[in-house]
Amino acid sequence: MKSCKVSIIVPVFNGSFLISRCLDSIFTQIGNFKIEVIVIDDGSTDNTLEILENYKKPITILKQVNNGPAAARNEGIKISTGKYLTFLDADDYWEPAFLKETISFLDDNNDAISVSVGQVHKFYAKTEKILPNFLSEENSNFKKPVVLNDFYAFWANHNHVCTGSVLFRTDIVKQTGGQRSDLRITEDLEFWAYLATFGKWGFIPKVLFVSDGGKVTREIGWFKKNQKRWASAPTVKIWESRIIKRISNKLLPSYDTAKGRIAKNLAYSMILSKRINLSRKTIIKYKHLFPKDKLSLCMSFFANYKFIFVFFSKIMFVRERYRKL
């Protein structure tokens, strides 16, 4: 692997609990490359900025009024100078070989514009979960890194992408214009789907990324942390507005399958932000694309009956309001 430069963009809002662990995981990466670490403080009100200013390794610190993670990442994209680029949220971290493995993959596969890796998701007082699920299967067909011919089909089946698990070609990211700052929820999912219209994705079946924000979520509270995000959930039409213009007819069926997962999440967010009529309309329009899980089936069934759906929505709201982590 030839030496190259990688730009690492870290948005942070009130991340004093875990930001040092995140940065430490960046500076302990193994391999022959240079790193450019850009941390964007998204209007923190705790002592995050103090921790950043006293951090012992070289980092570039940007400050902005609270405007969400997409806007913060876009500020980092603007000044990034590396051949490759990646995002890492303040409450997550990498295993030591993340950059080495992903850089090597993109160096070896010129037809891939990005590559993601396997992940561990840790939950407070719960068993951790490995994604994609097939990484826990002994007889999995996915043993070697692969360039995906159909990103949307693989994504819909395996939910294999998470912020922090991906390395991109910087020039392609700059071509996209970055993430949509008007989205404060599912902005990352929209970006994955949009980026896939620019070229092929790769996947490395190794667990090299860890999502571990349980401590922060428990401090803030699950419901409080997500209230604003749920309230900002857009319609599916708004969500896919820049994607649908670029989808080829060949990929449209698999894209629709992936869109069904997004539509379900947006409809559920509308329930939790008490936009009941909009949620019901969304479910009725897109339920034929929903995955066949229990929540999807319940939402699809009850949406057929206006008054029953209102009652169902109240139950779902209470369920999340008192959800235990």
Q: What is the DSSP string of 93-110?
A: EE-TTHHHHHHHHHHH-T
Q: Mean pLDDT lowest for which of 53-62, 125-134, 268-277, 294-303? A: 125-134
Please give the pLDDT value at position 214: 65
235: which residues sit within 8 A by CB, 6+ positions away?
Answer: 266, 278, 282
Q: What is the pTM of this model?
A: 0.94
> Of 241, 239, 246, nearest to 265 (Cα)?
239
Identify which of 277, 118, 80 has the alpha carbon closest to the alpha carbon of residue 209: 118
pLDDT at residue 125 tops 70: no
Question: Minimal CA–CA distance to 7: which of 81, 117, 88, 96?
Answer: 81
- Mean pLDDT of all residues belonging to the chain: 93
Query: Where do the structural domains in the chain lie, given as residue ranges?
Result: 5-218, 222-321
pLDDT at 120: 95
Please give the structure tokens belonging to residue 212. 């571990």
Residue 1 has pLDDT above 70, yes or no: no
Q: Is pLDDT at 216 greater than 70 in this prediction?
A: no
The closest alpha carbon to 192, from 160, 225, 144, 224, belongs to 160
Q: Does domain 5-218 have CATH number 3.90.550.10?
A: yes
CB < 8 Å & 24+ apart, contacts of 292-300: 295/264, 295/268, 296/264, 299/264, 299/267, 299/268
Measured CA to CA, the distance from residue 100 to residue 104 in angstroms comes to 6
